[in-house]
Structure 1
Amino acid sequence: MFNEDRPSSSLPDVASLPHASGSGVLDWVGMDGMEMPVQFDAGDGQVRQTSARVGAFVNLAKEGARGIHMSRLYLLVDEALSAGPVDEAMLRKLLESFLASHEGLSDAARVVIHFEQLIRRRALRSDNSGWRAYPVRLEAVLADGKFSMEIGTDVVYSSTCPASAALSRQMIQQRFAEDFKPGQPLEHEVILRWLGTEKGIVATPHAQRSTAKLCIRPAAANAPKLLAIIDAVEASLGTAVQTAVKREDEQAFALANGANLMFCEDAARRVQQTLDAMPGIADFHVRIAHHESLHPHDAVAYAGKGLT
């Protein structure tokens, strides 16, 4: 008769048996996409809980070992993420527990956590505010006794093409020249009314939603919080997407777009200079993508701190 209360030590462990697949070490073995809760403080003092997808891995350094103990990784991740907010100290402790549970098999450990962090953002002019969900990617590695961590997110903003803006201004000049002939007296009120019609804005530059994908490696000390990084990057771009808006907010956004004409190269340099000037960042990589309304493809630029 099958005994459901039988101790696990009496159950067969195929992974520990000799195998015919040959020997060799493996870089990473584990599980990816585990469904877990995660608690995180982006830097606003609010610890928020949301759902996450987690990858947990160790290397397989022992020659001839067939596999690792995946259930141990799962239980350790479950315990750690249920205990409190994710931070650098917690991730390091979690990776140390991975290695302790695989003593003799592994000497390197890695964890990757994907989730979305809700952050409340104020409107540009009105008293309204709304929620933005920023994707967050945390990756930590412990190898050869050295701990490293990276944090990634996306900043979404609007980009207005400088070339298209120049072409639009030229078309407006041409329409003005057609409607107001040389030598014709120019009356202030007439011109003011003309500017308020569709003739006064006969052409508009193309603009598009754009994405700055950030990957940050914090320094050992004085590392900035995620919210500080997001705030600095959004300020450098000047046209972060909005949440709740009234007409005064939309007008302020249009004004910001007109004052922040940029190619993807311009945006990449702005973000690069901003992150380069922030203390507590050891390295970073940035991918800028302008999802163009003119083309069916993206305009893309990459930038970094210049380190490997």
Structure 2
Amino acid sequence: MNTLTLPDVALHGATSQQTLDWVGMQRIALPLRLAGQPLTGRASAAVSLDDPAARGIHMSRLYLALEQLEGCELDSAALRQVLKHFLASHLGLAQQAYLELAGELLLKRPALVSPLAGWKGYPFALCSRLDAQAGFHVELQLEIGYSSTCPCSAALARQLIQRQFSSDFAGKSLDHADIIEWLGSAQGILATPHSQRSSATLQVRLSPHAAELPLLALIEGAEQALGTALQTAVKRADEQAFALANGQNPMFCEDAARRLHAALRKQPGISAFQLQVVHAESLHAHDAVARSSWHW
């Protein structure tokens, strides 16, 4: 028995004359390389089934085509090549090809002050499509964590500290040493603003002629715009610097969304984007959310 004699039921006609938008596989384990880093990825590979008389597609051809990505740096050219292979292996059956890749990029991030450094993960997803009529499209989704301090809570805390100062020094002559001592006491920090771990999800559509996948540029631009990126290994000096960064960058979810919108508008190679920020509030049992988009 050989491949010429083994039965192939996909050759038989479809039971219903209906085209399908997407047929393929998902959650395929695949070693990837992005931004110079090897990582464990998951792939979804598919084509459209545009021949209503065909029973199915050749899934093994899609699976084998993914071997082209093993060990090579991911970029637009590599994605396009795989999608072309998908369509070439399904001539007469498919007019559209899809490839979705997901993983977590690990980057070593330095501490704010000390010489320490640690690894931080950035979940991402790449959605690419090749259409015989509409051409080649790539969308990149990225998640970034940061800290957000509530401006309202900060103002309320400052007011309580002012009141306590006024009460403790009422009728007394102000002495520099006494004030310094008071500021370093529990009374000097009578109230603290609440802050929370927050997350931003950026989804960008790359320009048709963009060669590189701007993952690192998006991370750097977003973290710089927010000013309070989550830290890894820290010493007390780093923790103090982080407290200073939060104090200098209080933000509502609206503020964070606007900062990121402005940063993405400056990013070259992007034709459209949408974003969402989520502040997992420590005051409320619910989250604060803001969204924004451009040409989406």
Whether TM exceeds 0.5 here: the answer is yes
**Residue 297 of structure 1: how far off its partner (Å):** 1.4
The residue matched to 1:8 in structure 2 has which SS?
coil
Q: What CA distance in whole angstroms lies between the structure 2 residues aligned with 1:83 and 1:231?
A: 25
Identity of aligned residues (%): 49
**Which amino acid is the alignment partner of residue 222 of structure 2?**
V
Match of 1:190 in 2: 178
Q: Which amino acid aligns with 1:18?
A: G
- 2:277 and 2:89 map into 1 onto residues whose CA distance is 41
Please point out which of 27, 32, 50 is paired with 2:21: 27
CA RMSD of aligned residues (A): 1.4
What do the CA deviations read for 1:12-38 (whole angstroms, capped 9, x no partner)? 111221343x11111101001011111
**Per-residue deviation, 1:139:** 1.0
What is the rounded CA distance, in whole Å, between the counterparts of 1:69 and 1:142 in structure 2? 18
User: What SS is found at the alignment partner of 2:70?
Assistant: helix
**Distance (whole Å) between structure 2 residues aligned to residue 240 and residue 28 of structure 1:** 38
Deviation at 1:158, TM superposition (A): 0.3
Amino acid at match of 1:244: A
Q: Does 1:124 align with 2:118?
A: no
After the TM superposition, which parts of structure 1 deviate over 6 Å for at least 4 consecutive aligned residues?
none
Counterpart in the other structure of 2:40:
51
Equivalences for residues 207-286 of structure 1 within 5 A: 207-219=195-207, 220-221=209-210, 225-286=214-275
Pairwise CA distance, 1:178:
2.1
Q: Give unmatched runs, 5+ long, in structure 1.
A: 1-5, 42-46
Q: Following TM superposition, by how much is the alpha carbon of 1:126 offset from its aligned partner in structure 2, in angstroms?
A: 1.1
User: Residue 103 of structure 1: CA displacement?
Assistant: 0.6
| Residue in 2 that maps onto 1:3 | none
Instruction: Kindly provide the amino acid, as one letter, of the partner of residue 254 in structure 1.
Output: A
Contact 1:224 1:280 in 2 (8 A): no
Among 10, 31, 34, the residue aligned to 1:37 = 31
- Shift in CA distance, 61/222, structure 1 to aligned 2, threshold 3 Å: closer
Structure 2 counterpart of 1:102, which letter? Answer: H
Aligned residue for 2:123? 135
Give secondary structure in 2 for the equivalent of 1:204: coil
Contact 2:31 2:71 in 1 (8 A): no
Other structure's SS at 1:176 match: helix
* Matched ranges for 1:55-66 at <5 A: 55-66=44-55
Match of 1:152 in 2: 141
Give the structure-1-normalised TM-score: 0.92
1:228 & 1:188 partners in 2: Cα distance?
Answer: 47
Instruction: Flag the 1:129–1:24 CA change in 2: closer, same or farther, 3 A.
Output: same
Aligned counterparts of 2:199 and 2:136: Cα–Cα separation in 1:
30
Matched, 1:17 2:5: no
